[in-house]
Structure formats: structure tokens, C-alpha cells
Amino acid sequence: MLKLTGFIIGSIIGSFLGVCIHRIPRGESPVAPRSHCPKCGAQLGAAELIPIIGYVFIWGRCRHCRERVSVLYPILEVGCGLLSARVLGAEGFTLSAVNSLILISLAVVAAGIDFQHRIIPDIVTLPWMAVGLVIAAFSGGIQGVFSRALGIVGCGGLVFLIAIISRGGMGGGDVKFMALIGSFLGVPGGLTSFVIACVIGAIVGVILIVSGIKSRKDEIPFGPFISLGTIMVCVFGERLIPMVFPWLRF
Ligand SMILES: [Zn+2]
């Protein structure tokens, strides 16, 4: 029952995140006006706004101009539904689950925008660090806030150094994104996310270059890999963090 509720909540969140990914880089508000067809401007009816079902209902096309609706929307809705079912199913409606769901949502938006536009807008990162600290205050008091503040400085600082040394490999958006992750996961969780991102990023990079899809000079956005690592830590953190940092005890 908790899992089903989690799936429904997650798919609704996923539907909203799809709108955020589309609108934020265009400078539009994600909440108003109501969702509409980007081609003909027709507003979506009530049934079409339902996650997943809405897409099936219109057979993936705008009812007015027959323009194709990206299949990424229902995939995102299903994906977020599954993640949310997993998190809420394992933890219930706890502060820790809320912490995970907010960070997963931000990671999804950052990945989507970075993949399409090669930027991670500040609105997705900076203000949310305060939210991470507030949640820490409720769950762990002063000590919680301190360990997350350390996460902001430690994770952001590490990527800042890498950005300077690599000169262009990583940008300011990645630095702020990692600082954000530190504010939600602290140093161990944040660094574990980053290590996973580097490993998967390197593997995917090699595959893309060897298969000839990308050349060595092409820049591959790193944000989506950071997001992937973060989501994995949010879902499997208890097992992943000790695997990456076996000497850490906390
Ligand atoms: Zn249309």
C-alpha cells in the first residue's frame, strides 16, 4: 500500500519535473500557465494531465495538431514513480524519505537540463542548499546542520578544485550541484555520489568514443552522471557508501 501510494506520488512529481526541465531553461514559470502543446498552444484537458495514463489516453500525440509528445515524459513519470515507491516503501513518510525525494527531484531536473542545454541553472541548486540545512536541523539538530554544512564545503570545494585543475572539464554548475548534494547527503554520501558518477561517466565516455558516437574533443555533460550517482546513493546509500569508503565509520 505504501509502495502504491509512493508510486502515485512519484509519478505526479515526475510529471511536474518534466515541465520544469522544459520550461526553466526557457525562463518560463513551471507552474503557470497550465500545461499546453508547445506547437499549437492548446491546453491539456484534465484527463491528459494524469501522469502516464494521460499519455496513453492521447496515444502520444496532441489532440489538436497531432504533434508528437515526447515519450520521455511518460518514461520520466514511471521512473520517478518507481524511485518514490522504493524510497517510501523502505522508509515510510519520514523526514529522511522527504530528504531523499527532494534531492532525487532536483537531480532529475539538473540532469535533464544539463543534458539538453549544457547548463545547471542556479535556481535548481543554490536556494535548495538552505532546504537541505533546514531538514538537517529538524533531523539532527546543530550537529546535523554542521555535518551538512561540511558537505556543502567539502563536496563543492572538491569539484571546484577539479574544475580549476581540469580547466573546462567541469563547470561552475557542477560545483554548485555537488555543493547542493553535500547539503542533502553530507560528505560521505556526497563523495560516494561523485565517485559513482566518475566511474560510470568514464565507462560511458570510453564506450561513446570507441563506438565512434563521440570524438575525444566532444564534451560530454557531467551533470547527468552526478545525478545518477546521487539517485543511487539516495536509494541504496546504506550499502553503497561502505562499499566506496570502507574505512568510514559513521
Ligand atoms: Zn498541439
For residue 86, the model assigns a pLDDT of 96
pTM above 0.85, yes or no: yes
In terms of C-beta density within 10 A (0-12 exposed, 13-18 middle, 19 or more buried), how is residue 220 classed? Answer: middle
Rounded CA-CA distance 108/239 in Å is: 22
Task: Identify the pLDDT of residue 126.
Answer: 97
| Residue 240's pLDDT band (cuts 50, 70, 90) | confident
pLDDT of residue 40: 87
Note whether residue 102 is domain-resident: no
Q: Are 193 and 185 in contact (CB under 8 A)?
A: yes
**Angstrom distance (rounded) from CA 131 to CA 135:** 6
Domain's final residue, options 75, 93, 111: 93
Residue 48 CA to ligand 1 centre (angstroms): 13
Cα(108) to centroid(ligand 1), Å: 26
Question: Is 114 inside a domain boundary?
Answer: no
Provide mean pLDDT across the span 138-163: 95
Q: What is the mean pLDDT of residues 162-178?
A: 88
Q: 76, 93, 110 — which closes off a domain?
A: 93
**94, amino acid identity:** T
Ranking 135-139, 222-226, 237-241 by mean pLDDT, the lowest is 237-241
Is residue 181 within 8 Å of 223, Cβ to Cβ?
no
CB 120 within 8 A of CB 174: yes
Nearest Cα to Cα of residue 131 among 178, 88, 183: 183
196 and 79 in a single domain? The answer is no
CA distances from 171 to 10, 99, 159, 163, 164 (A): 30, 26, 9, 6, 9
C-alpha 178 to ligand 1 mean position (Å): 38
Residue 172 corresponds to which cell in the numbers above? 561552475
pLDDT of residue 57: 85
Kindly give the distance from the C-alpha atom of residue 45 to the centroid of ligand 1, in angstroms, as a whole number: 12
Q: What is the reported pLDDT for 249?
A: 57
Q: Per mean pLDDT, which of 95-99, 169-173, 209-213, 219-223 is the most reliable?
A: 95-99
Mean pLDDT to the nearest integer, 167-187 = 91
Please provide the average confidence, as pLDDT, over all residues in the chain. 91
Do 60 and 26 fall into the same domain?
yes
Domain that holds residue 137: 119-250
Tell how far the Cα of 77 is from the centroid of ligand 1, in angstroms: 21
Q: What is the predicted pLDDT for the residue at 196? A: 95
Number of other CB atoms surrounding residue 204 within 10 Å: 15
Q: How far is the CA of 43 from the centre of ligand 1 (A)?
A: 8
Q: How far is the CA of 142 from the centre of ligand 1 (A)?
A: 52
| Beta pairing partners, 68 | 61
How remote is the CA of residue 68 from the centroid of ligand 1, in Å?
Answer: 8
**36 pLDDT band (50/70/90 cuts)?**
confident
Q: Which tens digits make up the pLDDT trace of 46-87?
A: 888 888 888 888 888 988 888 888 899 999 999 999 999 999
Which residues have CB under 8 Å from 119's CB, separation 6+?
25, 113, 173
Q: How many domains does the structure of the chain reveal? A: 2
Is the pLDDT at 136 greater than 90? The verdict is yes
Least-confidence region, from 29-43, 72-86, 150-164 = 29-43
Q: Residue ranges of the alpha helices (H) in the chain?
A: 2-23, 53-57, 72-91, 95-117, 122-166, 172-210, 223-244
Question: What is the predicted pLDDT for the residue at 241?
Answer: 85
| Cα distance between residue 55 and residue 72, in whole Å | 11
- Give dist(CA 14, CA 12) in Å, integer: 5
Q: Nearest to residue 157, comparing CAs of 195, 191, 121?
A: 191
Closest CA to 112 of 79, 89, 161, 145: 79
Co-location of 46 and 123 in the same domain:
no
For residues 237 and 115, the model is more confident at 115
Q: Which of 28-42, 140-154, 220-234 has the lowest mean pLDDT?
A: 28-42
**86 shares its domain with 123:** no
Label residue 248 by pLDDT band (50, 70, 90): low
